[in-house]
């Protein structure tokens, strides 16, 4: 991911913060994105489906608490806001750049630079993933 792309994603997250705060569940509601919690065991997971002419839907499973829902929702909002220009989109974990961008958005939305020992813009994909994983396992 280029430095310019990182700056643009962080600017988008900051814009969302200014408009609606840092609660991704609230932001999803404001954007008209429906959230479905589906039954399932195992690690918490989520994906977003967007089809032209229909509202986007975030499907979540395995969430044990509100924090996990918020972290997954922030990640899926990143996909929606950065990548949903295609007609029908269902996101999976198989696109490394797409996942890193969504993680960057989520961290920039829910956190501030002063929470870490480095600016969010300088974080590598593995650091962003570690932050996401940590917040899903708390």
Query: What confidence tens digit (pLDDT) does each residue in 33-62 have?
Result: 999 998 877 778 899 988 888 899 999 998
- Round to whole Å and give the CA distance between 102 and 48: 12
Side-chain-side CA neighbours of 107 within 13 Å: the count stands at 29
Helix and strand element counts for the chain (H, E): 5, 4
**pLDDT of residue 87 exceeding 70:** no
Instruction: Report pTM.
Output: 0.89
Q: Any idea which residue has 């609606």 for tokens?
A: 20
């Amino acid at each position: 991911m280029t430095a310019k792309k990182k700056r643009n994603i962080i600017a988008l997250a900051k814009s969302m913060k200014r408009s609606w705060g840092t609660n991704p569940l609230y932001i999803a509601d404001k954007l008209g994105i429906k959230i479905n919690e589906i039954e399932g065991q195992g690690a918490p997971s989520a994906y977003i489906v967007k089809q032209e002419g229909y509202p986007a839907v975030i499907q979540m499973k395995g969430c044990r608490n509100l924090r996990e829902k918020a972290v997954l929702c922030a990640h899926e909002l990143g996909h929606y806001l950065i990548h949903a220009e295609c007609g029908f989109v269902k996101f999976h974990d198989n696109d490394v750049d797409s996942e890193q961008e969504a993680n960057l958005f989520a961290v920039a939305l829910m956190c501030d630079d002063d929470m870490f020992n480095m600016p969010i813009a300088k974080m590598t994909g593995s650091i962003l993933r570690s932050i996401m994983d940590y917040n899903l396992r708390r």
